[in-house]
Structure 1
Amino acid sequence: MYVPRAFAETDLAALDRLIERDSFVTLVGIVDGVPHATHLPVLYRRDDQHVELRGHLARPNPQARVAGPVLAIVHGPHAYVSPGWYPDKEAQSRVPTWNYAVAHLEGELELFDDEPSVASIVDALSVHHEFAVGGDWRFEHERDDHRSQLRGIVGFRLVPRRIQLTFKLNQNHPAANRLSVAANLDSLAQGTGPEVARLMRERTPV
């Protein structure tokens, strides 16, 4: 990923927040010589600089049979920025841009299909997301019909060897421009503009 120095983020707490916001990632690998992408929820764990992603793939998915190098993309909020929002738009001949936050995690995909490991992933994912929606469904390992479903999936683990975070939030602009853009994004009635505005304010010196 191209990461201009002004937009590079090095604090992994920022990755924590991106995953907490949206743990539905894009997993990209090479299958039969061509790029292959799968969109799926993951479990995330970080211990200082050590990061781990776990999840599962449908067994018929070609990506479920190819261990090796992959890229996991964590998607953050993003928003269009109008040049009309900059106080210095005329003097500096400003142009439109797009503000966003994203993370790329590169590493070796490990695949496994032993029942206890795959069951623990299904259970942990369901507990997390059922709680978020006020549900109470649980994976019941003692039920044959629940266990039989595990045959249709393959578990995976990814420990990234490289993590890149890009938070492109007008850091290359004066503070007055950043605050003006944040105020305009806050006024939008749809999209993730207010989320981008919050990230911008957090990174704008006062």
Structure 2
Amino acid sequence: MYTPRAFTIDDPAALDRLIDANPFVTLVTVRDDVPTVSHLPVLYRRDDRGIRLSGHWARPNPQARHAGRALAIVHGPHAYVSPGVYPDKETAARVPTWNYAVAHLGGALRTFDDEAGLAGLVAALSHVQETRLGRDWAFEPERDDHRRQLRGIIGFHLDIDEVQVKFKLGQNHPAANVAAVATDLEGRSGDRERAVATLMRRHALPAADQGNEGER
């Protein structure tokens, strides 16, 4: 991923927050020079053992028979930026752009299909999301009908050894431009635009005036 220095994020906590808010990833593998892509919810773990993503495919998915190197793409919020918002739009001949946050996580992919492992994965995935919604559905391993559902999936762990986090948030602009764009995004109706504004105030305003103009 092309990542100018101004847009590189080295803070592990920023990655934690990005995946916590966006746990539905794009998983890419390559076999016989042909890429295969799946879109999947994942569990994220970062501790002294490293970073791991875990999830599962439907058993018929061809990617469920892949192993080796894989890439997970974490898609954060994004928003169009109009040059009309910049205070220096005329003097600097500003043009439209797009602000966004994304992470590429590369590592070794390992699959599993034992009942205990799959049951634990499904229970953990559902617990995270049910808790966020204030709901109480839970996988019940003592129920035969719940356990039978596990036959239709294959699980995976992706142990991460390459991390690239890119937050393109206007760090290469003067602080006045960054502040103006953040204010504009905060006034829009979409949640993702406001999420970009929050990231800009956290990451871009402190870094403004320190980057170069290479934007994409």
SS in 1 for 2:148: helix
SS in 1 for 2:105: strand
Evaluate the alpha carbon distance shift between residue 181 and residue 48 of structure 1 in structure 2; reply closer, same or farther with a 3 A threshold.
Answer: farther
Matched, 1:170 2:191: no
Residues 101-116 of structure 1 aligned to structure 2 (within 5 Å): 101-116=101-116
- The residue type paired with residue 160 of structure 1 is I
| Superposed CA offset, 1:25-82 (max 9, x none) | 1111114531111111101111158111111111100000011111101111100000
| Superposed CA offset, 1:129-173 (max 9, x none) | 111222211111111111111111111001111000000000000
SS in 2 for 1:91: coil
- The residue type paired with residue 7 of structure 1 is F
- The residue type paired with residue 55 of structure 2 is G
Q: Distance in 2 between matches of 1:41 and 1:13?
A: 20
Name the residue aligned to 1:80.
80
SS in 1 for 2:95: coil
Name the residue aligned to 2:66.
66
- The residue type paired with residue 201 of structure 2 is R
| Superposed CA offset, 1:62-121 (max 9, x none) | 000011111101111100000111100111111000000000000111001111111100
Name the residue aligned to 1:182.
182
Provide TM-score, normalisation by structure 2: 0.92
SS in 2 for 1:69: strand
8 Å contact from structure 1 (residues 12, 49) kept in 2: no
Provide TM-score, normalisation by structure 1: 0.96
- The residue type paired with residue 34 of structure 1 is V
Name the residue aligned to 1:145.
145
- The residue type paired with residue 51 of structure 1 is I
Mark the runs of 5 or more structure 2 residues left unpaired by the alignment: 209-216
Name the residue aligned to 1:122.
122
Q: Distance in 2 between matches of 1:176 and 1:188?
A: 19
Q: Distance in 1 between matches of 2:146 and 2:102?
A: 35
Q: Distance in 2 between matches of 1:100 and 1:163?
A: 17
Mark the runs of 5 or more structure 1 residues left unpaired by the alignment: none
Name the residue aligned to 2:136.
136
Q: Distance in 2 between matches of 1:2 and 1:195?
A: 23
- The residue type paired with residue 76 of structure 1 is G
Matched, 1:20 2:20: yes
Number of residue equivalences: 206
Evaluate the alpha carbon distance shift between residue 117 and residue 18 of structure 1 in structure 2; reply closer, same or farther with a 3 A threshold.
Answer: same
Moved >3 Å (runs of 4+): none
Evaluate the alpha carbon distance shift between residue 96 and residue 49 of structure 1 in structure 2; reply closer, same or farther with a 3 A threshold.
Answer: farther
| Identical pairs, percent | 62
- The residue type paired with residue 138 of structure 2 is R
SS in 2 for 1:92: coil
- The residue type paired with residue 8 of structure 2 is A
